Structure 1
Amino acid sequence: MKLRIKEVCQLRNTTQKELAEKLGVSEVTLSRASNGNTSLPLLEKIANILEIEISELFAPSSNEDGITRCPNCGAKLELKKVE
């Protein structure tokens, strides 16, 4: 199961390399975590650094662009389909 780590990093204007440095892990370890090969303690650290709930790493994107939160303030976006 692929996690949304890359997507959330983009929303937070941070790179995966920066996230790996903050976590104290290698980019390879973070890549493995993105692909679902990880532990709960590492997921907790990732979520804390990215300021999200762990469940948001698993949640499917809510729209075609994959944007579910404001990239500036992090507020959840409510999207409505225009007819």
Structure 2
Amino acid sequence: MYMQELRIKEVMQEKGITQKRLAEQMGVAEISLSRSLRGNPTLETLSKIAEALEVDIVDLFECKKEEENTIICPKCGSRFKLLE
């Protein structure tokens, strides 16, 4: 199954926010945030990260050029290009 890459650390760098500061803004321990960033964060965690970084949650995901205007079937994982 296809998974998009998270770009949380890249957004943090763009915003000039350290992992420690982000954890403080989220109200969590730095070690908890670190584990989430290395693993598979929940939607709730991603939402908190986006809020703390003042970005939309979709900004935390990498969007590759060739994947723009593409949808993925949630049932089979097939990709379909949207035509205009």
User: Shorter-chain TM-score: what band?
Assistant: 0.5 to 0.7
Q: Following the alignment from structure 1 to structure 2, what is the Cα–Cα distance between the partners of residues 7 and 35?
A: 14
Q: Percent identity?
A: 52
TM-aligned CA deviation for residue 37 of structure 1: 2.2
Q: Please list every run of at least 4 consecutive aligned residues from structure 1 whose deviation after the TM superposition is greater than 2 angstroms.
A: none
Q: Give the TM-score normalised by the residue count of structure 1.
A: 0.61
Aligned residue in 2 for 1:35: 38
TM-aligned CA deviation for residue 39 of structure 1: 1.4
The answer (yes or no) to whether the contact 1:3–1:36 under 8 Å persists in 2 is no
Distance 1:3 1:56, change over 3 A: same
**More helix as a share of residues:** 2
Query: What 5-or-longer segments of structure 2 have no aligned partner?
Result: 66-84
Which structure is larger by alpha-carbon Rg, 1 or 2?
Answer: 2
Q: Which amino acid aligns with 1:37?
A: N
Q: Following the alignment from structure 2 to structure 1, what is the Cα–Cα distance between the partners of residues 59 and 36?
A: 14
Q: Give deviations 1:20-57, integer Å, cap 9, x for gaps.
A: 01111112211122224221111111101111111221
Aligned residue in 2 for 1:20: 23
TM-aligned CA deviation for residue 3 of structure 1: 2.3
How well do the aligned residues superpose, as a CA RMSD in angstroms? 2.1
Q: Following the alignment from structure 1 to structure 2, what is the Cα–Cα distance between the partners of residues 61 and 4?
A: 12
Aligned residue in 2 for 1:4: 7
Q: Give the TM-score normalised by the residue count of structure 2.
A: 0.60
